[in-house]
Structure 1
Amino acid sequence: MKRHGILNRELAGHFAKLGHTDRIVIADCGLPIPKEVPCIDLAYKLGEPTFLSILEVVLDDLIVEAAVLAEEIQRNNEKVAKEVASSLSNISYVTHEEFKELTKEAKLIIRTGETTPYANVILQCGVIF
């Protein structure tokens, strides 16, 4: 049995397949999921697990070189926007409509139970060297 890191076998398996510049999405429970993108649904009730708790665990497991957020998060969800900005560098912002289009290119979407507005992020994988 694993001692640390992602214990969810589906997530761990998907993470093992990621390469440099591949993108994953951590999503709130309302973000539309494109049919062609695999989704691991971690939501078990409204609000749980939170977006920030999953982001923390993912960032502990993956090297991330860039992130994309919907620009609307800055006005409509300041608390989460500030937490994300303190955890990540190299953040770019697009409209929420553009964000939803970008999710179609992701290798994986992780759905949380988060219910606050625009609590979604696209993470671009980096390399360990």
Structure 2
Amino acid sequence: MKKTPLLNIALSRVVASLGHGDVLMIVDAGMPVPAGVELIDLALTHGVPDFVSVLNTVLTEMQVESHVLAEEMLVKQPPALATLDSLKSNGALGERRFLSHQALKELSRSARAVVRTGECQPYSNVALVAGVVF
């Protein structure tokens, strides 16, 4: 049995397979997932699991170099934004870039995987860019 908090087999496998610069997206329940991109669907019902819980668990195993958010997140101010700001301040998310929501959806086409949460707050999406631990 694993000692770290991330127990989902598919998600653990994807995180372990990431190379420098690969993108893993954690998204809300409404974000479309492009054909051909692996979907790890964790959504059970509205809000379960929530975006922040999934993000915090992924960060226990993933080295993040940078992250990308939709500009619209700054307008809507979903609750997850405060957590993202705190994680950025603590150095857990590296540099931050903003794209339009449409451009973020286009970025998802090149993601190694998209992790769908049950989050129902609009624009609660992040693209995590893998870093290296050395």
TM-score range (shorter-chain normalised) is over 0.9
CA distance in 2, matches of 1:78, 1:30: 14
How far does the alpha carbon of each residue in 1:66-98 deviate from its partner, in whole angstroms, 9 at most, with x for none? Answer: 000001001102532221121123111010011
Opposite residue 3 of structure 2, the aligned amino acid is R
**Could you tell me how far 1:5 is from its partner in structure 2?**
3.2
Opposite residue 16 of structure 2, the aligned amino acid is A
What TM-score comes out, normalization by structure 2 length?
Answer: 0.92
The answer on 1:35 being equivalent to 2:35 is yes
User: Given the alignment, which residue of 113, 118, 122 partners 2:118?
Assistant: 113
Opposite residue 25 of structure 1, the aligned amino acid is M
CA distance in 1, matches of 2:128, 2:39: 15
Opposite residue 40 of structure 2, the aligned amino acid is I
Opposite residue 43 of structure 1, the aligned amino acid is A
Tell me the equivalent position of 1:102: 107
CA distance in 2, matches of 1:119, 1:77: 9
SS of the residue 1:62 aligns to? coil
Tell me the equivalent position of 1:93: 98
On the 8 A contact 2:23/2:128 being kept in 1, the answer is yes
SS of the residue 2:24 aligns to? strand
Opposite residue 48 of structure 1, the aligned amino acid is V
CA distance in 2, matches of 1:103, 1:62: 18
Aligned residues: CA RMSD? 1.0
On the 8 A contact 1:10/1:40 being kept in 2, the answer is yes
Superposed, 1:1-129 pairs within 5 Å as 1-88=1-88, 89-129=94-134
On the 8 A contact 2:4/2:60 being kept in 1, the answer is no
SS of the residue 2:3 aligns to? coil
Report percent identity of matched pairs.
Answer: 40
Unaligned runs of 5+ in 1: none
Q: Which runs of 4+ in 1 moved over 3 A?
A: none
Unaligned runs of 5+ in 2: 89-93
